[in-house]
Chain A
């Protein structure tokens, strides 16, 4: 563990609900974590720039009214936009999980500057309903420091509006080209597969994308829900241990600064 612990800010707003377990994941990885309400950043009582990692956790901020993540995205843009921009420009990391991913996409931080800017969004699942299920994911690119090795990992999704869409195939190709598609839904062998392997109908089987630098990363699955030996849905079957696949996201983030 590094002597000066990495400082992580887990952002909270009305309707955030995965803040405790996300904080726990970072703490397990050795970071020092504060759960901070967005109002504290807006009123200046907490400074975002005192932290190295910003995590926007899962939940239903503002009830996902209008569309998932939209109201918090709008709030962050208008109330703390400047701090966030400065934060991004430094050598820091941002992760958005599930609702946090929706927020980052809708405030324009993902995919961010580049050919795909403003051309990617998240829409309602093809099934038109919320679903909680475990999915296999292939690490399609190691552009983001959150994921360093290209292999298959297993995490749950739990969302109703997680379908990545692009305005065109050209945008999808550009994202692929630039290595910004970090995670893809696959079957257990890493091969492309339809629903339910791709639970939302996401184009290009996208499950997570990053900014051009890789330092801003958003994903729909929940790494913080697979960090204990008992989280795996088949741990009682004593199948080959998948090693709490979610921990690597938190460990890699902490290691990035050591």
Chain B
């Protein structure tokens, strides 16, 4: 039998989801709609009698107080006749988490059902232009990549079973192929391999005297993808008359090896970087990007971005418990005019809402606090939004290393394998273009956080019982990458038909490369296998033996006894030819605009505070659970009314303990327009000064790099990357902060209407720091009337690419320059002062410079201030607007009690430290140059300007 059960909220009660649909459609320009109610539809298949279906509807699917249900007929929503419907359902093959939960519920009731599908039915009243309504409704109510929309109730039909797969061994004849054919093969099969790589593969198989199988080619393509091996960073680069062999090793990783910190326990080798926390525990940190999937399907892309990065610490060592998430996004401005959004790109507001919802739903359901992040807006992110997701994990120090041994069983745990996400690794290495959403929609992955959560729970129990010897996550490339990596030094044999599938019909290559989410691979000694599988089963998690690690250093794949791949591990992992590319960088010819001469800069300050990059992110932050796990010390929103912008997060992952972790980030793509070197240098400086601002120090601070760049096949893009990487070395080595992990996402270019939109070269630096005593933590909100305010650090004429120039439509030339030796001296002096409890509040200067920092401190603390800038930059004769808005790095404003002023000033001897004013009661916000007021307003006005833009 098939039962269609409809559930609706009774008219007496609000229907917030129906209301939201109405608002979103109005937002999209649909006029004439009057009302909307949402109906949840469950189609249940199985041997249920009518009375049983009634019970399912009554007891499980509807709420007896607020809802009503109907069986095989439209439910009464209370809307009058003449209403019309839109029904949205998942496309065939798209995973629907609600299905499994509903089946479980029916099963718990002792009623059997075979399958459940769900859909959403929107019932509308009003009078609309039908053509316009249908066009918008399909886009607004459905996610067309994974859902389909119908404008009447769907037929009550069960899902047609997927056709079974019939084995067929496929080989690809390369031996005689010319260059053109090789390129065509790479293109047609979506391999994203370049001609040199195809020729290397061709030569290898010529020597073997056979043709590769389709599965072998797929495996090579995945393993050799930019996403997996970072060919650009490890390649040869001709730059400035010299050849750089391996940019990563010669810049970023070089910092780490030169500093050689004993507390760096595992760097650049495992799925995340690991540093010591205390005598027993270590912490892992990894940040990933999920840009291309998020451009196509923001919700699913962001969801699986966060889901994927959680599995990195989980797959580090023998597995780390996730304790914090971070999220940094770059979007086009949310108020971008529709006509400015290129064909094939989603509107930035929709991308923002979808991405935030995806991170929210996955992170919150995993029970991991989202503690830190940033959002940067720039028009050039319109086709290529950047979605960085980070995860911090906690791991016992004796579980940091791992090794699969020959004879260990390969066990797949967690979710089942489906067709979702095939070609993800190669997608992320390709450029997007108009039409990408159709070509690549198969690559969109769908997340199910509860599958990941229950897998995580039981994995950590298995880890503590030492039931396995190695673990890694199924990320890009799925089993192919996971097993290939774990068996690199041993060998592996896998029987693909043993992998549990979501549905029939997958070919061996699809099983092998599927990027279905929530899966991990374990190496399990045979004697532990039964206990391990039993343990997973006891918490309803599937664990399945799919093969064995061998000693033959080969990767052998079977399907029903047929060999479908046999690859030499050495060729697979080391056969990729080193890329050789040319890089150039030419400094753009720029000049400084003349903008000085104003008497009053109040309106400039208001305009900068209202820029979405600077504006409050409270609307986003509150949707994330930032306190789950009970370890929060400094929250993302701080101050008198819990709504000021915290500089960094502080958490206590281990209790009881005084030790804490500081987590922060630095990002400023605008500076790339002048010089990517200084963009990178400033990103590092910003991440570190935020650590300092919450009371941390450079001691035991590590950083992560995530580059998002354009197409590095083009010499200018690559030259910019080389410069940025050089800055990473120059700055981090002086600050003494090793890189422990990183990842790059290249090819962030969008082709449309014959033009290419290239993102500004963007480096995200994430910092993690061990704080010895949580009680030393500071916040940025002003605390007490009468306290003194100091500006620390040198202010220079550095308005290039600043927020001030941005609001005046200028770029300028004088990009802020980090002088790490000076910064280090200042940071060390400041951390000594904060450790001695001399500082009541501290805020770093970033976007918008001194004026913005002062404004944020005042309205976060609910206190006024009176500041005199006469002393700042007086020797250099800096103009007022430079002093107010310059974005010179390595600077802070600190608040000090008058009684401690002498001690504080002594502590800061030898570093630039100017007393600039004091905290006042009331709402006056006054910045003067001697007697003349250059900013004069009240902080509630500033706060309002800052809070309004991103409050949807």
Q: Which A residues fall within an 8 A CB radius of B? A: 12, 14-18, 20-21, 24, 37, 39-40, 58-60, 62-67, 70-71, 74-75, 78-79, 106, 118-121, 123-134, 156, 158, 165-167, 201, 222, 224-225, 227-228, 230-231, 233-234, 236-238
Contact indicator B101/A63 (Cβ below 8 Å): yes
Given A15-B453, A63-B101, A21-B625 contact (CB < 8 Å): no
Identify A65's interface contact among B102, B635, B841, CB under 8 A.
B102
Given A17-B453, A74-B109, A237-B781, A124-B17 contact (CB < 8 Å): yes
What sequence of 0s and 1s flags, for each residue 433-477 of chain B, a beta carbon within 8 Å of any chain A beta carbon?
A: 000000000000000111001100100000000000000000000
Q: Which residues of A contact B98 (CB under 8 A)?
A: 63, 65-66
Q: Which residues of B contact A12 (CB under 8 A)?
A: 457
Contacts of B87-103 to chain A: CB distance below 8 A: 97-98, 101-102
Contact indicator A131/B622 (Cβ below 8 Å): yes
Closest-CB distance, A107 to chain B (whole angstroms): 10
Q: Which residues of B contact A124 (CB under 8 A)?
A: 16-17
Closest-CB distance, B164 to chain A (whole angstroms): 29
Contact indicator B640/A119 (Cβ below 8 Å): no
Closest-CB distance, B325 to chain A (whole angstroms): 13
Contact indicator A165/B16 (Cβ below 8 Å): no
A24's nearest neighbour on chain B, judged by CB, is B655
Identify A132's interface contact among B448, B626, B629, B841, CB under 8 A.
B626
A161's nearest neighbour on chain B, judged by CB, is B16
Q: In the bound complex, what is the Cα–Cα distance between A125 and B621 (angstroms)?
A: 17
Point out which of A39, A62, A238 has the most chain B C-beta atoms below 10 A from its C-beta.
A62
B104 within 8 A of A: yes
Q: In the bound complex, what is the Cα–Cα distance between A14 and B100 (angstroms)?
A: 12
Contacts of B618-636 to chain A: CB distance below 8 A: 621-630, 632-635
Given contact pairs A130-B360, A132-B623, A158-B625, enumerate 5 new A-B contacts (beta carbons under 8 Å).
A17-B366, A17-B367, A121-B63, A132-B627, A230-B633
Given A119-B65, A133-B622, A225-B627, A127-B16 contact (CB < 8 Å): yes
Given A39-B538, A65-B98, A128-B19, A158-B628 contact (CB < 8 Å): yes
B779 within 8 A of A: yes
B504 within 8 A of A: no
Contact indicator B630/A24 (Cβ below 8 Å): yes
What 7 A-B pairs are tightest by C-beta distance, nearest first? A17-B367, A21-B630, A128-B16, A65-B101, A121-B65, A14-B454, A60-B365
Contact indicator A15/B108 (Cβ below 8 Å): no
Q: Which residues of A contact B104 (CB under 8 A)?
A: 62, 71, 75
Closest-CB distance, A168 to chain B (whole angstroms): 9
B832 within 8 A of A: no
Q: In the bound complex, what is the Cα–Cα distance between A79 and B107 (angstroms)?
A: 10
Q: In the bound complex, what is the Cα–Cα distance between A226 and B12 (angstroms)?
A: 36
Identify A121's interface contact among B64, B449, B626, B640, CB under 8 A.
B64
Q: Which residues of B contact A39 (CB under 8 A)?
A: 538-540
Q: Which residues of B contact A118 (CB under 8 A)?
A: 64-65
Q: In the bound complex, what is the Cα–Cα distance between A131 and B356 (angstroms)?
A: 13
Q: In the bound complex, what is the Cα–Cα distance between A225 and B454 (angstroms)?
A: 22
Q: In the bound complex, what is the Cα–Cα distance between A231 and B631 (angstroms)?
A: 8
What sequence of 0s and 1s flags, for each residue 361-385 of chain B, a beta carbon within 8 Å of any chain A beta carbon?
A: 0001111000000000000000000
What sequence of 0s and 1s flags, for each residue 757-775 of chain B, a beta carbon within 8 Å of any chain A beta carbon?
A: 0000000000000000011
B360's nearest neighbour on chain A, judged by CB, is A130
Q: Which residues of A contact B110 (CB under 8 A)?
A: 78
B523 within 8 A of A: no
What sequence of 0s and 1s flags, for each residue 777-788 of chain B, a beta carbon within 8 Å of any chain A beta carbon?
A: 111010100000
**Number of chain B residues whose Cβ lies closer than 8 Å to a Cβ of chain A:** 66
Contact indicator B60/A15 (Cβ below 8 Å): no
Point out which of A14, A74, A125, A227 has the most chain B C-beta atoms below 10 A from its C-beta.
A14
Q: In the bound complex, what is the Cα–Cα distance between A205 and B103 (angstroms)?
A: 35
Q: In the bound complex, what is the Cα–Cα distance between A165 and B783 (angstroms)?
A: 40
Q: Which residues of A contact B630 (CB under 8 A)?
A: 18, 20-21, 24, 224-225, 227-228, 231
B13 within 8 A of A: yes
Closest-CB distance, B456 to chain A (whole angstroms): 10
Closest-CB distance, A133 to chain B (whole angstroms): 6
B61 within 8 A of A: yes
A60's nearest neighbour on chain B, judged by CB, is B365
Q: Which residues of A contact B625 (CB under 8 A)?
A: 130, 132, 158
Contact indicator A59/B540 (Cβ below 8 Å): no
B50 within 8 A of A: no
Closest-CB distance, B94 to chain A (whole angstroms): 16
Q: Which B residues fall within an 8 A CB radius of A? A: 9, 13-14, 16-17, 19-20, 59-61, 63-66, 97-98, 101-102, 104-105, 108-110, 360, 364-367, 448-450, 453-454, 457, 538-540, 621-630, 632-635, 637-640, 642, 652, 655, 774-775, 777-779, 781, 783, 841
Point out which of B66, B109, B360 has the most chain A C-beta atoms below 10 A from its C-beta.
B66
Contact indicator B108/A78 (Cβ below 8 Å): yes
A168's nearest neighbour on chain B, judged by CB, is B12
Q: In the bound complex, what is the Cα–Cα distance between A40 and B65 (angstroms)?
A: 32
**A-B contact list, 9 entries, CB within 8 Å:** A14-B450, A63-B450, A71-B101, A71-B105, A121-B65, A124-B16, A130-B625, A231-B627, A234-B638
Closest-CB distance, B639 to chain A (whole angstroms): 8
Q: In the bound complex, what is the Cα–Cα distance between A161 and B774 (angstroms)?
A: 33
A233's nearest neighbour on chain B, judged by CB, is B642
Q: In the bound complex, what is the Cα–Cα distance between A118 and B655 (angstroms)?
A: 40
Point out which of A18, A126, A134, A237 has the most chain B C-beta atoms below 10 A from its C-beta.
A237
Q: Which residues of B contact A60 (CB under 8 A)?
A: 364-365, 367, 449-450
Closest-CB distance, A249 to chain B (whole angstroms): 13
Contact indicator A14/B453 (Cβ below 8 Å): yes
Identify A123's interface contact among B64, B66, B102, CB under 8 A.
B66
Contact indicator B13/A63 (Cβ below 8 Å): no
Q: In the bound complex, what is the Cα–Cα distance between A51 and B843 (angstroms)?
A: 49
Given A66-B60, A166-B65, A132-B652 contact (CB < 8 Å): no
Closest-CB distance, B116 to chain A (whole angstroms): 10
Contact indicator A233/B628 (Cβ below 8 Å): no
Contact indicator B642/A134 (Cβ below 8 Å): yes
Contact indicator A165/B101 (Cβ below 8 Å): no
B621's nearest neighbour on chain A, judged by CB, is A132
Q: Which residues of A contact B66 (CB under 8 A)?
A: 121, 123, 165
B622's nearest neighbour on chain A, judged by CB, is A131
Closest-CB distance, A63 to chain B (whole angstroms): 4
Closest-CB distance, B17 to chain A (whole angstroms): 6
Closest-CB distance, A70 to chain B (whole angstroms): 7
Q: In the bound complex, what is the Cα–Cα distance between A62 and B102 (angstroms)?
A: 9
Closest-CB distance, B677 to chain A (whole angstroms): 36
Q: Which residues of B contact A58 (CB under 8 A)?
A: 628
Q: In the bound complex, what is the Cα–Cα distance between A172 and B110 (angstroms)?
A: 34
Contact indicator B642/A234 (Cβ below 8 Å): yes
Q: Which residues of A contact B775 (CB under 8 A)?
A: 230
Contact indicator A62/B450 (Cβ below 8 Å): yes
Q: Which residues of B contact A65 (CB under 8 A)?
A: 97-98, 101-102
Identify A236's interface contact among B65, B101, B655, B777, CB under 8 A.
B777
Closest-CB distance, A239 to chain B (whole angstroms): 9
B456's nearest neighbour on chain A, judged by CB, is A17
Contact indicator A66/B65 (Cβ below 8 Å): no
Contact indicator A236/B778 (Cβ below 8 Å): yes
Contact indicator A59/B367 (Cβ below 8 Å): yes
Q: In the bound complex, what is the Cα–Cα distance between A13 and B775 (angstroms)?
A: 35
A20's nearest neighbour on chain B, judged by CB, is B629
Point out which of A12, A15, A40 has the most chain B C-beta atoms below 10 A from its C-beta.
A15
Given A18-B367, A78-B110, A230-B65 contact (CB < 8 Å): no
A40's nearest neighbour on chain B, judged by CB, is B538
Q: In the bound complex, what is the Cα–Cα distance between A224 and B109 (angstroms)?
A: 33
Given A14-B454, A131-B622, A230-B633, A237-B13 contact (CB < 8 Å): no
Closest-CB distance, A116 to chain B (whole angstroms): 10
Q: Which residues of B contact A228 (CB under 8 A)?
A: 630, 652, 655
Q: In the bound complex, what is the Cα–Cα distance between A12 and B539 (angstroms)?
A: 10
Contact indicator A70/B105 (Cβ below 8 Å): yes
Contact indicator A165/B13 (Cβ below 8 Å): yes
A108's nearest neighbour on chain B, judged by CB, is B64
